Amino acid sequence: MPFASIRIVTDDLEGLVTFYERVIGHRAERPAPIFAQFSGPGANLAIASTATVAMLGGAVTPGTNRSVLIEFEVSDVDGEFARLQVEQEDVVLPPTTMPWGNRSALIRDPDGNVVNLFSTPVGDR
């Protein structure tokens, strides 16, 4: 079974799309006014208005995630962190070398989801 995507449901579609366009570095595909998607190698990131899940009766609540990291592998964590000019209150962890060798910076998107920009040590790629 192929993995297809992760979908973030939000009350602020335009804000989240703008944020992830900055992070990813290209515009989202917009097949409908209430939905956006970033396609790429590995997996897709979808961002959808709450209107797309209205029939689920509250099973999905925007801005309440406290258990999932959205991860992007980058070649230069420090450079990407500087490029994004993240507000201090949105920084979870500034660029740091983790005990297992990865370099990571964790930030929050406009809905509070944690985004990990990481790189692996050169010898591990």
Position 125 scores a pLDDT of 54
Q: Are 116 and 22 in contact (CB under 8 A)?
A: no
Tell me if 56 is assigned to some domain: no
- Tell me if 30 is assigned to some domain: yes
Residue 115's contacts (CB-CB under 8 Å, 6 or more residues apart) are: 23, 69, 70, 71, 72, 106, 107, 108, 109
Domain count, the chain: 2
One domain for residues 81 and 113: yes
Across 6-41, b (16+ Cβ under 10 Å) vs e yields: ebbbbebbeebbebbeebeeeebeeeeeebbbbeee
pLDDT at 42: 80
Q: What is the pLDDT of residues 75-115, one digit of tens each?
A: 999 999 999 999 999 999 999 999 999 999 999 999 999 99
CATH code: domain of residue 18:
3.30.720.120
In a domain, 78, yes or no: yes
pTM to 2 decimal places = 0.91
Each residue's pLDDT tens digit, 8-66 = 999 999 999 999 999 999 999 999 999 999 998 888 999 999 999 988 988 999 999 88
Q: Do 121 and 76 share a domain, yes or no? A: yes
Q: Which comes out higher in pLDDT, residue 2 or 13?
A: 13
Asked if residue 58 belongs to a domain, the reply is no
Q: Which domain holds residue 86?
A: 66-125
55 within domain boundaries: no
